[in-house]
Amino acid sequence: MNLTLSHLIALLPLLIVCATVIVVMLGIAWRRHHVATATLTTIGLNAALFSLLAVLTVTPIRVSPLLLIDNYAVLYMALILIAGLASTTLAHAYLEGFNDQKEEFYMLLGCSVLGGLTMVASDHLLSLFFGLELLSVPLYGMAAYAFRTRLSLESGIKYMVLSAAASAFLLFGMALLYAESGSLAFADLGARLTEGGGHASWLLMGIGMMVIAMAFKLSLVPFHLWTADVYEGAPAPVTAFLATVSKIAVFALLMRLFMSAPVTDMASLHTTVAFIAFLSMVVGNLMALRQDNIKRLMGYSSIGHMGYLLTVVVASDDMALLTTGIYLITYVATTLATFGVIALVSSPWQGSDVASLKFYRGLFWRRPYLAAVMTVMMLSLAGIPMTAGFIGKFYVLATGVEAQLWWLVAGVILGSAISLYYYLRVMVMLYLHPTEEEEYDASSDWGQRAGGIMVILLALAVLILGVYPQPMIMLVSGATLG
Amino acid sequence: MMLPWLLLIPFIGGLLCWQFELIRPNTAMPRWIALLSMVALLVMALVMWVSGDYSLSQVVGNTPEWQSEFRLPWIDAFGITFHLALDGLSLIMITLTGILGIMAVVCSWKEINRRVGFFHLNLMWVIGGVVGVFLAIDLFLFFFFWEMMLVPMYFLIALWGHESEGRSPVSAAIKFFIYTQASGLLMLVSILGLVFMHYTQTGVFSFDYGILRETPITGVMSWVLMLGFFIAFAVKLPVVPLHGWLPDAHAQAPTAGSVDLAGILLKTAAYGLLRFALPLFPETSQAFAPIAMTLGLVGIFYGGVLAFSQTDIKRLIACSSISHMGFVLIGIYSGTLLALQGVILQMVAHAFSAAGLFMISGQLYERLHTRDMRQMGGLFGRLGALPGFALVFVMASLGMPGTGNFIGEFLILFGAFDVVPWVVVIASGGLVLSAVYSLILMHRVYWGPPREKSTIARLDGREYAMLLSTLVLTIALGLYPQVVLDISQGAMHEVRHWFAVSPSFAG
């Protein structure tokens, strides 16, 4: 095919991130400098973010059979880039005290972002697999970045082994689909099924294996066993990255697959997904109840949240597309700020993260605004009005009610009721009397640092979107497929 | 244009309280700011009370009659607007909120010494949320405030609460939160169900009360949706199987928290039933009335027995609220104008008498450092005027003529007798129980041989003024209830109209 200028414009964000990774790599080879590397990465990701404005002038456009760059892709690209930027900012403060090579981290992060960008634009099984691996492989390294601590290394290896298993499932599923339909493009998949030919059971098995692989990545029950350990062991900025970028990319892709590939229109598939969703809501939240480590707690809570969001996959209608965007935006903002606070309290790196709940006791009386940010985030995760999380939950419930998925609606209510217990426990911990124990704290000038400013901005965004969500809704409703 | 200000005053006042503490710790400034905002709220409500026209002469038509309205676009995609409106019912509730808000600020003047600014931030935001609930006419907005007010209330209980029998206030606060939030989500689902129902019929998204009221719903769906609303309100009221949070939350909340909880938070539930559950689902509510009334009866007796067996003075008062709210439930579902008017009066009167009793138990706790009635006894004569006040509030609580509670209960029973005579007969029996536990309270705490001879610190001017004004309000309501009844008449007439138009009632 001919590559015209508009194709190049459509590829700009990918190209810019690619260039950033290469420049960062050459820079490291030339001279190690932590601040310069972080700044380069930030500039590159920002440039990619702004280039999306140019991309919007040419969308929707198909660039090779592999990539379809439409408004939907642009929205999630923006989200991924913002989450990547936030993680970079957190990593900079965090790695300041790291007693090993710091610079390669940014290269890994850039690669992973690139994988995410590819995934949300992919319209073909090949680019799907390519993107997913590009997203995951650097993440192994990032999770194990502080490899001299046992937990971090363990987390990296665990993630690697389970991810590889998931990739195997994905490949086998894709092979089955290809064998049956003779095509790897989403739109063609299962076209033969609708024509009446083909073996439905092979198709079902193929698509089922793909769903399992993605359920691994989204840590849905019963494929969730790695989540808490990886969340706990990985350094806080990496956990922030893992909890946002990888979830956005995989979920956006899953949604596109279910919306555009006819092969997914099977009642049994939807029932299975509904079952997984219900289990995730209940089991994730139940497991979170007894955690005393806030990173583990967030890991289990993310299982519950992905369960709520899976409701929209079961519904798979226009409303569901809107809900996906709104829920992901609110969830990403909330998660980033939560891990931001954890990272700030743990920065600079002192050997391990400050993740045990008891260290947060009485934070409000020492760092009132930081604790206020955390409070808003806990309320947002719990879906209390005046926070963005409420708007997200509102949309999920609306989707469920509209599609009359009463079991899932009941699951959302049950899950929310259970989850309140642990979110409130974290929240009240911030306000109780401080004990005499050894205390960790964010440095007193945290508010002037980039990470601090970002966390406060995110908290403001969560509050503003919670009270006035209209701009967000307009934005997301513009992000149509195709 | 006064409506948004009613809402903004507490929220802004609360933020100012907090900021003052951050800038200059250990001043009394937050207390004064909070007091000032509450006085401003009350004055505005009273101005509307005097200047508005709430008479019955307003025609009951298909559009709701509001005294004043305020509307801003909010979330267009769903037809959600920031729609506030005020009628007699909301005005009474907001005035009550203002009065109890002042009491809550004044009664915590000496009790709360830690984090004064943050305490008042929470107190003001609870009040703000409650005002929002009473004003919101868009269902989304209503839910928004309904859930929002839980957070500051949670903090009030968790951070400034007392330990009770070894249980920390945090667990009571969490229990309170989970009960109300989970039931609130059921209501949200019901609201959404109603909205989509309306959408499939008309193709328009709207959360507006006036519009949704016109949506005809029948069959199983109407039961499901109605129950969603009912359960949310039943938890807050509380209705008996769902009352588990109430004794704990009350016993462990600080005095100001208990005053607000009993005085206004419980009333948001009755308000919700009157404003939303009945007019939105008239036929189903009509069919549901026997069950609701049975639950009310159970509440009256169960609450009474529960109150009788308590040893903690605040738990006793809390359980007596369950019993009193049973009457409110019966009044609401009997649906006659007289009973509905009685409900309003009962709510206002109960707010005053319960607030009075909670303030007294707070003052006892400050002096004796216990709420266990077994360790009291013989306090009459050792405490100056306090037992005298206690006697009046206890009498009010058991429904002695001359107090507002008597008028309220009387109107409810009298009004409901036409419709459901047997329910009324049984409920009247419950009044005996309320006499029993009220007298037990008096007896255990104030009578009997004194434990020590020494006198305990008497009431100071602030406490005296606070109790005296509550007492005056209780008696005034008993002697001239017409003040309130005039205002609520129009709104109650409308509720009755909506409730009565259902065909099953005509027969």
Please write the tens of the pLDDT for every residue from B455-494.
Answer: 778 888 888 899 999 999 999 999 999 988 888 888 888 8
Task: Please indicate whether, in this complex, the C-beta atoms of B173 and A424 are within 8 angstroms of each other.
Answer: yes
Residue B366 domain-assigned (yes or no): yes
Task: Please indicate whether, in this complex, the C-beta atoms of A397 and B185 are within 8 angstroms of each other.
Answer: yes
| pLDDT for residue A263 | 67
Tokens coding B92: 């009474």
* CB < 8 Å to A368, chain B: 22
Q: Can you give A232-294 as a three-state secondary structure string?
A: HHCCHHHHHHHHHHHHHHHHHHHHHHHHHCHHHCCHHHHHHHHHHHHHHHHHHHHHHCCCCEH
Say which of A397, A428, A469 has its CB closest to residue B188: A397
Closest CA to A23 of A143, A121, A103, A85: A103
CA nearest B179 in A: which residue?
A417
Q: What is the ipTM of this complex?
A: 0.88
| B61: pLDDT strictly greater than 60 | no
Lowest mean pLDDT among A96-100, A104-108, A206-210, A416-420: A96-100
Best A281, A377, A409, A465 residue to mutate vs chain B (most B CBs within 10 Å): A409
Neighbours of A62 (CB within 10 A): 15
Q: What is the per-residue pLDDT across A358-374, written as a single tens digit (0 to 9) for each? A: 888 888 888 888 889 99
Pairwise CA distance, residues B192 & B186, whole Å: 10
High-pLDDT (> 90) share of chain A, %: 54
**Host domain of residue B321:** 287-500
| pLDDT for residue A439 | 62
Task: Please indicate whether, in this complex, the C-beta atoms of B74 and A470 are within 8 angstroms of each other.
Answer: yes
Residue A275, C-beta contacts closer than 8 angstroms, at least 6 positions apart: none
CA nearest B156 in A: which residue?
A428
| B507: pLDDT strictly greater than 70 | no
Best A431, A468, A477 residue to mutate vs chain B (most B CBs within 10 Å): A431
Is residue B178 less than 8 Å (CB to CB) from chain A? yes
Helix (H, G, I), strand (E, B) or coil at B113: coil
Task: Please indicate whether, in this complex, the C-beta atoms of B182 and A469 are within 8 angstroms of each other.
Answer: no
Task: For tokens 């009431």, name the residue.
Answer: B459
List the 236-255 stretch of A: residues with Cβ below 8 A of B: none
What angle, rounded to 10 degrees, do the helices at A267-288 and A406-429 form?
20
CA nearest B143 in A: which residue?
A385
Is residue A417 less than 8 Å (CB to CB) from chain B? yes
**Mean pLDDT across the stretch B363-373?**
85
Task: Please indicate whether, in this complex, the C-beta atoms of A397 and B150 are within 8 angstroms of each other.
Answer: no
Distance from CA of A397 to the nearest CA of B (A): 7
Task: Please indicate whether, in this complex, the C-beta atoms of B188 and A394 are within 8 angstroms of each other.
Answer: yes
Residue B231 domain-assigned (yes or no): no
Task: Please indicate whether, in this complex, the C-beta atoms of A470 and B75 are within 8 angstroms of each other.
Answer: yes
Task: Please indicate whether, in this complex, the C-beta atoms of B74 and A421 are within 8 angstroms of each other.
Answer: no
* CB < 8 Å to B173, chain A: 424, 428
Say which of B144, B186, B192 has its CB closest to residue A385: B144
Q: What is the per-residue pLDDT across B383-399, written as a single tens digit (0 to 9) for each? A: 878 888 999 999 998 88
Residue B421 domain-assigned (yes or no): yes
Task: Please indicate whether, in this complex, the C-beta atoms of A421 and B76 are within 8 angstroms of each other.
Answer: no
Q: Is A33 left (phi over 0), alpha (psi -120 to 50) or beta?
A: beta
Is residue B102 less than 8 Å (CB to CB) from chain A? no
- Letter for the amino acid at B33? I
| pLDDT for residue B171 | 87
Q: What share of chain A is helix, strand, coil (3-state, %, to 5)?
A: 75, 0, 20
Pairwise CA distance, residues A182 & A198, whole Å: 11
B287 to each of A374, A392, B231, B334, how far by Cα in Å?
Answer: 47, 35, 16, 11
Say which of A413, A473, A477 has its CB closest to residue B186: A413
Radius of gyration for the alpha carbons in chain A, expressed in angstroms and rounded: 21
- Letter for the amino acid at A250? V
| A412: pLDDT strictly greater than 50 | yes
High-pLDDT (> 70) share of chain A, %: 94
Is residue B8 less than 8 Å (CB to CB) from chain A? no
Is residue B182 less than 8 Å (CB to CB) from chain A? yes
Q: Are B115 and B145 in contact (CB under 8 A)?
A: no
* CB < 8 Å to A385, chain B: 143-145, 147-148
CA nearest B194 in A: which residue?
A401
Task: Tell me whether residue B146 is exposed, middle or buried, using C-beta atoms within 10 angstroms of its C-beta: 0 to 12, 13 to 18, 19 or more.
Answer: buried
Residue B152 domain-assigned (yes or no): no
Q: What is the per-residue pLDDT across B404-420, written as a single tens digit (0 to 9) for each? A: 899 999 999 999 998 88
* CB < 8 Å to B145, chain A: 385
CA nearest B149 in A: which residue?
A385
Best A408, A413, A430 residue to mutate vs chain B (most B CBs within 10 Å): A413
Distance from CA of B414 to the nearest CA of A (A): 41
Pairwise CA distance, residues A428 & B395, whole Å: 39
Residue B133 domain-assigned (yes or no): no
Residue B134 domain-assigned (yes or no): no
Task: Please indicate whether, in this complex, the C-beta atoms of B192 and A470 are within 8 angstroms of each other.
Answer: no
List the 425-464 stretch of A: residues with Cβ below 8 A of B: 425, 428, 431-432
Task: Please indicate whether, in this complex, the C-beta atoms of A417 and B185 are within 8 angstroms of each other.
Answer: yes
| B240: pLDDT strictly greater than 70 | yes
User: Alpha helix locations (H) across B168-263?
Assistant: 169-202, 209-212, 219-236, 245-252, 255-260
A13-33 burial code (b ≥16 CB/10 A, e <16):
bbebbbebbebbbebbeeeee
Task: Please indicate whether, in this complex, the C-beta atoms of B151 and A413 are within 8 angstroms of each other.
Answer: no
Best B19, B76, B144, B207 residue to mutate vs chain A (most A CBs within 10 Å): B144
| pLDDT for residue A190 | 63
**Mean pLDDT across the stretch A387-406?**
92
Pairwise CA distance, residues B283 & B348, whole Å: 28
What is the torsion angle, in degrees rounded to the nearest 10, for the CA atoms of residue A92, residue A96, residue A100 and residue A102? 20
- Letter for the amino acid at A418? I
pLDDT category at B58 given cuts 50, 70, 90 is low
pLDDT category at B505 given cuts 50, 70, 90 is very low
| pLDDT for residue B504 | 43
* CB < 8 Å to B151, chain A: 379, 384
| B503: pLDDT strictly greater than 50 | no
Q: What is the per-residue pLDDT across B1-49, written as a single tens digit (0 to 9) for each? A: 788 898 999 999 999 988 888 888 777 888 999 999 999 999 999 998 8
Task: Please indicate whether, in this complex, the C-beta atoms of B186 and A424 are within 8 angstroms of each other.
Answer: no
Pairwise CA distance, residues B434 & B398, whole Å: 5
pLDDT category at A326 given cuts 50, 70, 90 is very high
Q: How many contacts (CB atoms, under 8 Å) link A and B?
A: 80
Residue B137 domain-assigned (yes or no): no
| pLDDT for residue A397 | 93
Q: What is the per-residue pLDDT across A196-242, written as a single tens digit (0 to 9) for each? A: 556 677 888 888 899 999 999 999 988 888 999 999 989 999 999 99
High-pLDDT (> 90) share of chain B, %: 39
pLDDT category at A447 given cuts 50, 70, 90 is low
Residue B404 domain-assigned (yes or no): yes
The length of chain B is: 507
Domain count, chain B: 1
